[in-house]
A and B are shown apart, each in its own frame.
Chain A
Amino acid sequence: DTGVSQDPRHKITKRGQNVTFRCDPISEHNRLYWYRQTLGQGPEFLTYFQNEAQLEKSRLLSDRFSAERPKGSFSTLEIQRTEQGDSAMYLCASSLSTGKETQYFGPGTRLLVL
């Protein structure tokens, strides 16, 4: 257990529905990242926050995706109008913006869109 938690761990939804995932980082970490991982691939960066500011978004993050970190603590990732291609593991990681900036990953949310 790295100290990063994610909820839910699994989500099955029908195409066109909206889903929201939550990530609680290690408490003293000011940086929070979202990645997506599909089978046989490494994680792909989606977006990241420093405190409550969203500093970078990947072009993978279409306008159906939105992420927030309202108080600089937990974060949510919402996918609107889900598509089958959104099926993946969504990983959250956190780090401290000093030193090695090692990112510690949560257990992930596995999304299946039917």
Chain B
Amino acid sequence: GQNIDQPTEMTATEGAIVQINCTYQTSGFNGLFWYQQHAGEAPTFLSYNVLDGLEEKGRFSSFLSRSKGYSYLLLKELQMKDSASYLCAVMDYGGSQGNLIFGKGTKLSVKP
């Protein structure tokens, strides 16, 4: 079956670092995406990993281990505006298919 797990909620302090983990079991794999979603808004693209390793983009980094079915999103120098839900999503096939399978999201609260 298709399953993507991530923690439901996390809390962190402004200026700190937080790591949001995601594990997945899918029929196929053609890339893992992280999206940020503020309450009542649409998901916005943060990062994409298809090969093992770390991808860094400013304050955000994402890591992938395909053999372990595991990814994490690392947020550095947290700001209050980073309070949002973070969605892990796997694209299970390429070619003629390409829909994303999403986890339930991790609601991150950043405290002063």
Contact = CB atoms under 8 A, between A and B. Distances in A.
Given A42-B87, A42-B105, A56-B99, A105 B43 contact: yes
Contacts of B105: 40-42
Contacts of B91: 101
Interface of A: 2, 31, 33, 35, 40-45, 48, 50, 55-56, 58, 91, 95, 97, 100-108
A100 B104 contact: no
Interface residues of B, number: 26
Interface in B57-99: 87, 89, 91, 94, 96-99
A33 B42 CA distance: 14
Given A50-B96, A95-B98, 7 more contacts: A2-B42, A2-B44, A43-B100, A45-B100, A97-B98, A101-B91, A107-B42
